[in-house]
C-alpha cells in the first residue's frame, strides 16, 4: 500500500499519538521499530499519518514504552482502524478537507462544547442564517462553492438528532443574537431555532449577556470522543483553524469553557416557564429579543 499524499486529521492525530507514546518511553525511532518488528524508516511515515499501524504493533510499542492505559490504547486502536467513511465522504472538491475532518470528529463525539462571541454555532444555524453569513463574508468562494458549504453545514446538524447523538453545550454571546445580516426575518428565524434546539434533550444553550463578564474574544469548539484523552479543540482563525490535541491545550480550553459557563446566564431549560419580558436566564433573554420581531 502506497503512502497517503493528504492524510486526514484523524490519520495525522493517530500518528501524533504514536509519536507521543514512543517519546514518553524515551525510545528512538530505531528502538521503537525493533519493538514492533518493522523498519525504522517506516516510523516517520506512521507518525506523520501517511501510513497505518496494526493494533498488534501499536500494543507492542505501548508495552515497550511502558504505556499501560488500556482504555486509551483501545480508543487509539479504534481511531487507527476507522475507515473514515461516512456521509461526508461524498463531498469532495471544492469542499475544504477541514470541513470533512470536522464532520468526522462530530460523528465520533459523545460531547461537543463550543463558545461563539459573534455568530450562532454552525450546528444551530438556520439555512437562511448560514447562507447570509457566506454571502456577506470575506472569502473568495464562488456562489456555487458557498451553496455547497451551506448544504454541508445543514447536513452536519443531523448529528444532534441521530441515534447516538452527542451532548451539545453551547455558550453564545448576546452579540450573536443581534446578527440579522440586514434582514430581520433571518434574525427572527434564528432566534426561534435556538428556542427549538433548547428543547432537544441533549442540547444546552447559555447566553453570555452584554452586561456580564468580559467576553472571551475567540470562538472555539472542543469535541470529546468516548476516550477523553483523544479530544480535539478547534480554534477558529480567519486563515486556517487550529486543531489542537495535546493535553495542555485541551486542559486550557476545558478550563476556559468552564469559566464561561459560570459567568453566562443559566441554560435555556426546556422544563421552565417564563414571561416573555423576564431576563432571568438564557431562554428569557432570547424570548425578550424575539418578541419585537414577531
Render pLDDT for 40-89 as a digit per residue (tens, 0 to 9): 889 999 999 999 899 999 999 999 999 999 999 999 999 999 999 999 99
Cβ burial of 276 (10 Å; 0-12, 13-18, 19+) is exposed
pLDDT at 139 over 80: no
pLDDT for the residue numbered 276: 47
Helices marked H in the chain — which ranges?
Answer: 9-24, 29-36, 40-47, 55-65, 70-81, 97-108, 127-135, 143-156, 174-177, 184-197, 247-263, 282-290
CB contact at 8 A, 171 and 115: yes
Measured torsion, CA atoms of residues 176, 180, 181, 186, in degrees rounded to the nearest 10? 120
Place of cell 480550553: 253
Cell of 143: 456562489
Average pLDDT over the chain reads 92
Alpha carbon distance 86, 107 (integer Å): 9
What is the CA angle 201-128-141, rounded to 5? 115
- Name the band, by pLDDT with cuts 50, 70 and 90, for residue 1: low
**Predicted model pTM:** 0.93
pLDDT digits (tens, 9 = 90+) for 241-285: 899 999 999 999 999 999 999 999 999 875 555 554 455 899 999
Alpha carbon distance 65, 57 (integer Å): 12
pLDDT at 96 over 80: yes
pLDDT for the residue numbered 294: 86
pLDDT at 239 over 50: yes
Domains of the chain: 9-81 (1.10.260.40), 90-293 (3.30.870.10)
Q: Quick one: average pLDDT of 140-150?
A: 87
Amino acid at each position: 500500500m502506497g503512502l497517503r499524499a493528504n492524510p486526514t486529521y484523524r490519520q495525522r492525530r493517530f500518528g501524533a499519538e504514536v509519536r507521543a507514546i514512543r517519546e514518553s518511553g524515551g525510545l528512538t525511532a530505531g528502538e521503537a521499530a525493533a519493538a514492533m518488528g518493522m523498519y525504522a524508516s517506516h516510523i516517520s511515515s506512521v507518525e506523520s499519518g501517511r501510513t497505518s499501524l496494526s493494533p498488534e504493533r501499536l500494543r507492542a510499542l505501548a508495552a515497550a514504552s511502558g504505556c499501560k492505559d488500556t482504555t486509551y490504547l483501545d480508543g487509539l486502536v479504534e481511531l487507527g482502524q476507522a475507515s473514515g467513511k461516512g456521509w461526508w465522504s461524498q463531498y469532495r472538491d471544492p469542499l475544504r478537507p477541514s470541513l470533512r475532518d470536522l464532520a468526522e470528529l462530530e460523528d465520533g463525539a459523545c460531547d461537543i462544547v463550543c463558545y461563539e462571541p459573534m455568530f450562532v454555532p454552525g450546528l444551530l444555524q438556520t439555512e437562511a442564517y448560514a447562507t447570509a453569513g457566506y454571502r456577506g463574508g470575506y472569502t473568495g468562494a464562488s456562489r456555487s462553492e458557498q451553496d455547497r458549504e451551506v448544504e454541508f453545514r445543514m447536513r452536519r446538524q443531523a448529528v444532534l438528532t441521530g441515534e447516538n447523538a452527542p451532548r451539545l453545550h453551547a455558550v453564545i454571546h448576546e452579540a450573536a443574537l443581534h446578527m440579522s445580516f440586514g434582514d430581520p426575518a433571518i434574525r427572527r428565524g434564528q432566534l426561534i431555532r435556538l428556542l427549538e434546539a433548547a428543547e432537544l434533550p441533549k442540547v444546552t444553550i447559555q447566553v453570555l449577556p452584554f452586561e456580564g463578564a468580559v467576553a472571551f474574544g475567540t470562538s472555539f469548539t472542543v469535541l470529546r470522543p468516548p476516550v477523553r484523552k483523544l479530544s480535539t479543540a478547534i480554534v477558529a482563525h480567519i486563515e486556517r483553524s487550529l486543531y489542537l490535541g495535546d493535553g495542555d491545550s485541551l486542559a486550557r480550553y476545558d478550563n476556559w469553557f468552564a469559566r464561561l459557563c459560570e459567568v453566562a446566564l443559566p441554560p435555556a431549560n426546556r422544563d421552565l416557564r417564563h414571561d416573555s419580558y423576564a431576563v432571568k436566564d438564557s431562554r428569557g433573554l432570547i424570548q425578550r429579543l424575539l418578541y419585537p420581531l414577531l
